[in-house]
Amino acid sequence: MNSARDTALDLIEFLNSAPSPYHAAAQARERLTAAGFTEVGPAEAWPSGPGRYVLTDGGSLFAWVVPDGAAPDASFRLLGAHTDSPTLKVKPQPDTGSAGFRQLGVEVYGGPLLNSWLDRDLGLAGRVVVATADGPQVRLVRVDRPILRVPQLAIHLDPTVREGLKLDAQRHLVPIWSLGAPDPGGFARFLAGELEVDPAAVLSWEVVVYDVAGANLAGVDEEFVSSGRQDNLNCSFASVSALAEVAAAPDAGHVSAIVLFDHEEIGSRSPTGADGAWLGRQLERSVLARGGTRDDFLRAVANSLHVSADMTHATHPNYSDRHEPGHWIELGGGPVIKVSANVNYGTNAMTQAAFLAATEQAGVPVQYFVNRSGVRSGSTIGPIVAAGLAVPTVDVGNASLGMHSARELSGTADISMMIAAMKAFLRPA
C-alpha cells in the first residue's frame, strides 16, 4: 500500500468481504495464505520447523511465524482482536409474520444500538450445516441483496417518538422479507436454494443480518471510513496486515502471532472465545511442536507480550460532556492506548511503555483513552487474556464514532498508522 487512502480502501475491501465472523476468519485466512502461510488443522500434527502457519476454527483464527532457530521457549509477540460485532441473529425456528407480511424471528446478539437497524436494507450471512454423503459439512452463505427490512413506525402513529424511541427487541425488531402468511420451513428452503442443496439437507444455521450498503470513504476530503462491523474488523484487518507484512523477514528473537476471537461481544465465554482454553492451547501446541515442554510453554508466556487491539471512542462533538476532558480523542489522531484504574483494560505501566516504543519506532502519534470518572466503558479481550494466561498485555485501538451502530465511523488515516505500530511491535528495532 502506497498511501493511507490505499490502505483504507483495502480495509473497505476486507469489511465488505466479512459480513459475519465466519466470513471474517475465512477472509483473514485467505490473505495470510496468499502471504505464504500454510493452513493447519486443529486435530492435525503441527509442523516442528520454522515457517508461517494459520489455523481457523469457526469465527476464530490463530496464525504464527516461527523464525529460523527459534528455541522451544521462545517468547510470543501476539496481536489480538475479535471478529464478531453486535447484530441481529436468525432464530432456529424463524418463520413468523403478521398483517399479511412474512417475517423472520431474530435475536439480539451483543449490545447493538437497536435504532440503527431500522429502515435499512439488510442481507444475511453466516454458516449453515448441511447433510452430505460424507457426513455434515459447514457451508458459508451470503445473501448480498436487500431481502430484509425492519420498518420504523410512522411518526403519525406514535407522536411520542420525539420524546425518545423505545424499542422492544421481541416485538419491534422482527424484519419483514415477503408478503403472505407465515411459511413454516420457508427460511430453511430459502437457505437450501442459496446453497443449491435439497431442503432436507439443511440441518442448522448460525446466520446474522447485515447492512448491504457496504463500506465506503466519507467526508469532504474522504477523511472517514463508514461501515458496519468496524468494531472490531478494523483492528482485525490491521493485525492480519501487520503479520502478513513482517512474515517474510520475522524478528529472530520471538514468535510473531495474531489471534482473532469470536464471541467477544457476548462475554468471550465459548469454546473459541477469549475466556477459555482456545488461545492457550494453540500457544502451547506451538511450543510442543518445536520439541518444548510444559515448562518451556510457561516460560515462553511469562516472557511474552500481548497487544489487545479493539476499537475505542473518539470524542463526540455533540456529546463532549460524556468524555474525560483531559483525554479527548480525535479521528485521524493515531493509535489509542486504553488505560483503566479498575483494570477494565489490560494496560499497565510496563506494557504501555512497550507499545509507546513501537509507535515511536513507527513514527506515528499516540492518544490515550481514559473513562470519565464515574462512567464505566466496555471492556475487551485484553484483561481476559491477561488474567487467563498471566501474559503481559496492553490494550489499544483505533478511534470511532457510533460504536455498536449498524454503521460506524473511523478515521481514514488511522488504519495505516495502526498497522505501522503493529509492525514495529512485531519487529522491534
Query: What pLDDT sits at residue 2?
Result: 67
Asked whether the predicted pLDDT for residue 1 surpasses 60, the reply is no
| Helix or strand run (H / E) with residue 52 | strand 51-57
* pLDDT at residue 345, rounded to an integer: 95
Please report the pLDDT score of residue 378 as a whole number. Answer: 77
Residue 4 in this model has a pLDDT that exceeds 90: yes
Most confident segment among 256-265, 321-330, 337-346: 256-265
Average pLDDT, integer, range 255-259: 98
State the pLDDT at residue 368: 97
Rounded CA separation 271/411 (Å): 33
Percent of all residues in the chain with a pLDDT value above 90, rounded to a whole number: 94
Reading the block at residue 314, the C-alpha cell is 473518539
Query: Rounded mean pLDDT of 245-270?
Result: 97
Instruction: Please report which confidence band the pLDDT of residue 211 belongs to, taking 50, 70 and 90 as the band edges.
Output: very high
- Does 69 have pLDDT greater than 90? yes
Q: How many CA atoms lie within 13 A of 155 on its CB side?
A: 4
The stretch 276-282 carries a mean pLDDT of: 97
What confidence score (pLDDT) does residue 115 get?
A: 96
pLDDT in tens, 338-367: 999 989 999 999 999 999 999 999 999 999
CATH superfamily of 4-85+228-426: Zn peptidases (3.40.630.10)
Q: What are 118-145's pLDDT values in tens digits?
A: 999 999 999 999 999 999 999 999 999 9
> Is the torsion defined by CA of 268, 270, 271, 277 positive or negative?
positive
Residue 290, classed as helix, strand or coil, is coil
Average pLDDT, the chain: 96
User: Residue 90: what pLDDT?
Assistant: 98
Confirm if 52 and 68 have CB atoms less than 8 A apart: no
Residues in the chain: 429
Write the pLDDT tens digit of every residue in 298-320.
Answer: 999 999 999 999 999 999 999 99
Tell whether domain 87-211 is in CATH 3.40.50.720: no
The reported pLDDT for the residue numbered 49 is: 86
Among all chains, which residue has been given the C-alpha cell 479521528?
Answer: 331
Listed by start position, the domains of the chain span 4-85+228-426, 87-211
**CA atoms within a 13 Å half-sphere pointing along the CA-CB vector of 30:** 10
- CA 35 vs. chain centroid, Å, equals 21
pTM: 0.96
| Mean pLDDT across 240-262 | 97
Q: What's the pLDDT at 355?
A: 98
Task: Find the mean pLDDT for residues 97-101.
Answer: 97
- In the structure, what pLDDT confidence band is assigned to residue 375 with cuts at 50, 70 and 90? confident
For residue range 386-422, what is the model confidence (pLDDT) as tens digits?
A: 999 999 999 999 999 999 999 999 999 999 999 999 9
pLDDT at res. 379: 82
Q: Is 381 helix (H, G, I), strand (E, B) or coil?
A: helix
The C-alpha torsion from 213 through 214 and 219 to 225, rounded to 10°, is 150
User: In what helix (H) or strand (E) does residue 28 lie, and over which residues does it extend?
Assistant: helix 21-34
| Count of CA atoms in the C-beta half-sphere (13 A) of 57 | 21
